[in-house]
Amino acid sequence: MDGDYWDERYRERGQLWSGRPNGVLVDEASALPPGRALDVGCGEGADARWLAGRGWQVTAIDISAVALERAAASTDDAAVTFTQLDLATTAPPRGSYQLVSAQYFPLPRQPDHAALRRLLAAVGPGGTLLVAGHDVAELPAHAHGGPDPADFYRPDEIAAILDDGWTVLIDEVRPRVRAAPPGTAHTRDAVLVARRR
């Protein structure tokens, strides 16, 4: 699931996602005071635009150049900066964000957790990590040639890796607040909210 894979996914359709912000982000970030946010796997930019509309300065990153071109073309807010970045090889600025949001972001599992540690290091002191994923019980079995859900971190696995420099506020599976994308049957989200001490 590298940049070429995602570029091809975006090229297959004129718009891949709904254009609305993710429900978990809206629920969990609405009460946070605005600051600097990192939107990981920003796709076509709906979450970044929603955050900017609430006063956040947003760095929106994605591995797909096609997604970033679409996101930038539909965003006229100077509070959002779109950047191509692959967490497998490149770290965002350390300790720079009051919110790091990864909504349904397929972060590949690594033995040394290098990419995950890059993501966690971006959260500044007192900052919030917000991760949402699909309930693993609802994910289809690994199909030949397709991505295997077991290759990617689940929110509860990230919670288990956090050290005592974090406070886990939410680590749960709960009903989705917004309908799943057409053609999918996801009814529950796995959600992690943690605060760096």
Question: pLDDT at residue 186 above 70?
Answer: yes
State percent of the chain over pLDDT 90: 74
**Cα–Cα distance, 65 to 71 (Å, whole number):** 10
Which of helix, strand or coil describes residue 29? helix
pTM: 0.90
> What is the per-residue pLDDT across 101-134, written as a single tens digit (0 to 9) for each?
999 999 999 999 999 999 999 999 999 999 999 9
Q: Which two tokens stand for residue 56?
A: 């956040």
CATH number for the domain that contains residue 118: 3.40.50.150
Domain tally, the chain: 1
Residue 160: CB atoms within 10 Å: 10
Grade residue 171 by pLDDT with cuts at 50, 70 and 90: very high
Q: Is 177 exposed, middle or buried (CB count within 10 Å of its CB: 0-12, 13-18, 19+)?
A: exposed
| pLDDT given for residue 90 in this prediction | 95
Residue 27: CB atoms within 10 Å: 17
Domain extent at residue 50: 3-196
117-133 b/e with 16+ CB inside 10 Å = b? ebbbbbbbeebbbbbbb
